[in-house]
Amino acid sequence: MMTLVLSLIIASSVGTIIWILQNSIKPFTQKVFSQTWHYYSALIPVFFLLDGSEIMIRLVSFIRSVLQDTSTISESGMIAEQNAHIIPMEQTGTNSSLFMNQLFDYLLRFNNTKGIVLFTTVIWAIGTIVFLAVNVKNYVAFRRSILQESRVCDTVQSPVKVIISARATTPMVMGLWKPIVVLPDIRFGEKELAMILSHELIHLKRGDLLVKLLVLIANAIHWFNPAAYSLNKQINILCELSCDEKVVKEMDMENRRYYGETLLSMLEYGVKQRNIVFISSLCGPKKAMKRRLMNLMNEKKMKKPVLALSLVAAMALLGGGGTAAYAAGSAVPVKIPTGKQVEGRNISLQYEDGTTVFYDKDGNRLLADPKKNDVPQKLTTEEIVDRVNKHIAKGLAVPQGYIDELPQKSLDAINDTYGLKLQKSK
């Protein structure tokens, strides 16, 4: 259980660090990179929250071993080391993991560590179950209310089922395994309906519903971390922004403006519905819609240098998370004590259940009494002769110990039989 608790701490810490780093550089990235980049890069913290730290720890360990092996055979590396001051990787890892070392040492100092870990694990499990249960209950109730007064829309051609519901006054996509598009029971213009369907079908094509499920699971696992809630809300907003960006990519300004008017017509109920399904929004409704409308009017084209820079930035975030995960993982003790254990040197201890444990002079725990193992096994003359014959038959050298234990008469008989000159050392 201690391993589970430490894994949660590492995953939550690394995910939070990457999320904070992303938000700190957002004033720059918002001006240069697309909303699609922001949407998918926001999933990097989710990856670490979902125990991606373990994967990165193994990857960084492998890369380090390869680099160290390369440096030992590279003459250029040796010359560079002589002419430049190089900080060893072990030193940098030690410095970055100092805080985690202190944290783990503090946790392991408690007298009743096992009881505390058990209590913490139970509380965490209850919180995760309650979080998931509440969200599933809200979704089931909302879906039931939407489907209660609905009918199939036969006038719309779509790769998925489209229904019209009197309970819905904003378009939406529902269902992970059998998704459906829900339209409100109002009259849409042909152009307006085409834009709405294009928006919802992009969600399905990109698998946004599965992404939201993974984010929800990450939030449930880390329900104790406030950053997980903020990240959940942020990804929901970025999902809509990137989807809008995809819809209007080939549109002129007039059609972009028309699309924005369509969003405004759905604003009132759309805000209410987000509060029911997704609990709350990243920012106030007016500010969120203002951001979407401003993004629609911002015709941003990703040129090759900007695209390359965006890939480098994403890799840097992933690499930074991997480094942080490795530093935190290296701070975890290899053997985590689960309770007090009796130890000793050159003693034997018998427990209440009758089990006897032996400790040698170095304090190592033994399964059997070392005194019994000190007595060598006594072989009969016939057994020694048999072993000597087998060694000779296989062309192997006969151990001197066997020769010394044999009676002279038996040794002479073997020498006569095989034409040998075996002699005792005594």
Distance of CA 225 to the CA centre of its chain: 16
**Confidence class for position 126, pLDDT limits 50, 70, 90:** very high
**pLDDT computed for residue 324 by the predictor:** 72
State yes or no: pLDDT of 372 exceeds 60. no
Cβ burial 288-322 (10 Å sphere, 16+ → b, else e): bbebbbebbeeeeeeeeeeeebbeebeeebbeebb
CB atoms within 10 A of CB 128: 17
Of these ranges, 7-16, 296-305, 391-400, the one predicted with the greatest mean pLDDT is: 7-16
- In this predicted model, which residue has the larger pLDDT, 274 or 302? 302
Cα(228)–Cα(224) distance, rounded to whole angstroms? 8
Task: List, for residues 144-161, the tens digit of each pLDDT value.
Answer: 888 888 888 888 888 889
State yes or no: pLDDT of 312 exceeds 80. yes
Q: Where are the domains of the chain?
A: 2-144+217-261+281-331, 341-375, 381-418
- In this predicted model, which residue has the larger pLDDT, 419 or 109? 419
Task: List, for residues 180-201, the tens digit of each pLDDT value.
Answer: 888 888 888 888 888 888 888 9
Distances (CA, A) of 418 to 178, 323, 389, 399, 400: 85, 69, 9, 16, 17
* Nearest CA among 382, 385, 360 for reference residue 371: 360
Average pLDDT over residues 79-87: 42
Of these ranges, 284-288, 292-296, 405-409, the one predicted with the greatest mean pLDDT is: 405-409
Cα(289)–Cα(108) distance, rounded to whole angstroms? 49
- In this predicted model, which residue has the larger pLDDT, 141 or 117? 141
Of these ranges, 125-129, 169-173, 353-357, the one predicted with the greatest mean pLDDT is: 125-129
Average pLDDT over residues 65-69: 65
State yes or no: pLDDT of 224 exceeds 70. yes
When mean pLDDT is compared across 229-233, 272-276, 405-409, the lowest value belongs to 272-276
Cα(86)–Cα(371) distance, rounded to whole angstroms? 53
**pLDDT computed for residue 20 by the predictor:** 93
**Confidence class for position 4, pLDDT limits 50, 70, 90:** confident
**pLDDT computed for residue 62 by the predictor:** 67
Average pLDDT over residues 120-128: 92
User: pTM of the entire structure?
Assistant: 0.65
Say if CB 5 and CB 120 are below 8 A apart: yes
12: Cα within 13 Å, side-chain hemisphere: 19
- In this predicted model, which residue has the larger pLDDT, 100 or 213? 213
**pLDDT computed for residue 317 by the predictor:** 83
- In this predicted model, which residue has the larger pLDDT, 363 or 63? 63
